């Protein structure tokens, strides 16, 4: 893996966190390939090999449907999210394909309330090079606690 690949990976992770922290939901699906996988799963289920996931999407089209749901059909108290993501650790690098992991923490701020830790865990990713740059072909969001407040509306 050369410096340019490492730099581009870091930018992908940073831009992803920035877009979600800014509430730029239209940008979220564009971080993924057309045929992709995005799964949100508790750590215990992941480590035991159980398939049950809190959210599971199998294409960019499904991610776009979620964005539509966030904007048009889901009603909830408004809040902000702030994503803090560690540098990706490359577990395996091949030509135009990288298997990576990165820790994350998401903080939530509801209007007129103090910020709180909303969700923490790690991303387990497969990143591929496309004509449009690096994209996630698979993102597993493995969160540490089985306890999640109410529901997860926005992507992590």
Residue-wise pLDDT tens for the chain (156 aa)?
Answer: 899 999 999 999 999 999 999 999 999 999 999 999 999 999 999 999 999 999 999 999 999 999 999 888 877 778 899 999 999 999 999 999 999 999 999 999 998 899 999 999 999 999 999 999 999 999 999 999 877 877 788 999
Are 131 and 122 within 8 A, CB to CB?
no
pTM reported for the whole predicted model: 0.94
Beta strand 55-57 with 32-42: parallel, antiparallel or unpaired?
antiparallel
Please measure the distance between the N-terminal and C-terminal CA atoms of the chain and give it in whole angstroms: 27
Give the integer Cα–Cα distance in Å for 137 and 38.
8
Q: What is the DSSP code (8-state) at residue 86?
A: P
Instruction: List the one residue out of 13, 156, 154 whose CA is nearest residue 70.
Output: 154
Instruction: List the one residue out of 62, 42, 64 whose CA is nearest residue 51.
Output: 42
Long-range contacts of 41-47 (CB under 8 A, 24+ apart): 41/140, 41/141, 41/142, 41/143, 42/142, 42/143, 42/145, 42/146, 43/121, 43/142, 43/143, 43/144, 43/145, 43/146, 44/146, 46/140, 46/142
Q: What's the pLDDT at 107?
A: 96
Give residues with Cβ within 8 angstroms of 116, minimum separation 6: 107, 108, 109
């Amino acid at each position: 893996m050369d410096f340019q690949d490492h730099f581009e990976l870091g930018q992908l992770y940073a831009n992803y966190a920035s877009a979600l922290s800014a509430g730029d939901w239209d940008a979220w699906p564009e971080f993924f390939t057309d045929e992709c996988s995005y799964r949100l799963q508790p750590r215990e289920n992941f480590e035991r090999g159980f398939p049950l996931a809190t959210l599971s999407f199998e294409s960019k089209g499904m991610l776009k449907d979620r964005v539509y749901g966030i904007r048009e059909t889901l009603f909830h108290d408004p809040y902000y999210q702030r994503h803090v993501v560690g540098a990706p650790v490359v577990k395996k690098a091949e030509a135009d394909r990288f298997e990576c992991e990165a820790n994350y923490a998401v903080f939530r701020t509801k209007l007129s309330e103090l910020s709180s830790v909303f969700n923490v865990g790690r991303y387990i990713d497969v990143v591929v090079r496309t004509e449009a740059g690096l994209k996630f072909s698979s993102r597993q969001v493995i969160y540490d606690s089985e306890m999640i407040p109410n529901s997860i509306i926005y992507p992590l």
